[in-house]
Structure 1
């Protein structure tokens, strides 16, 4: 079974729309700094840093320090609990759609 704490952490972290937007920007680049994430976001640098902290704690991003800059990159494996959870329910829906397909064929051959 899927570890509840891991899936809860990922879902709680990505539930915030601003945090999700920050994550999407990180995913869209190889690496990105806080300054680059702040630019054009309409969010303060302090708020971006807090969102990055949450993303890092959930295992969704990693950081690399270089001089005075910290570069962030996406950690695809951080989404594994969410993917596993969705796969678990995907089987449920697959079976239901198969049953529906069979029923529709019986109704209208």
Structure 2
């Protein structure tokens, strides 16, 4: 997988703890300007912008300009792919727990 393709992958985008924190921050707000987002991190504006760019490439974040300010908001749609992937494993563990319960009851 090339770096360009990797950047667009939702799993790559959420792999970094800082990007997951960005998603959580944006999930709790309708829309935030970059300076408000940056204030919630112990990293500079450039680093936060780079993380936002990766999230935008995965279509997890949308932005719009209002004058000189750029405002960001979460686009949760691509997270459906993650939810679907995890649902398989949830089923797996539920089945395994039921088997273990039966073994322990016997």
Instruction: Name the CA shift for 1:40/1:97 in 2 (closer, same or farther; >3 Å).
Output: closer
Q: Which moved more, 1:9-18 or 1:47-56?
A: 9-18
Q: Show the counterpart of 1:62.
A: 62
Q: Look up the match of 1:81.
A: 81
3-state DSSP of counterpart to 1:77: coil
How far residue 56 of structure 1 moved from its aligned partner, in angstroms, is 0.9
Runs of 5+ consecutive residues of structure 2 not aligned to the other structure? none
Distance (Å, rounded) in 2 between the aligned partners of 1:105 and 1:21: 42
1:72 to 2:72 alignment: yes
What SS does the aligned partner of 1:85 have?
helix
Superposition CA RMSD, Å: 2.0
**Paired residue for 1:33?**
33
Structure with larger Rg? 1
4+ residue segments displaced more than 4 Å: none
After TM superposition, the score normalised by the length of structure 1 is: 0.80
Q: Which 5+ residue runs of structure 1 have no aligned equivalent?
A: none
Aligned length: 101
Counterpart secondary structure, 2:29: coil
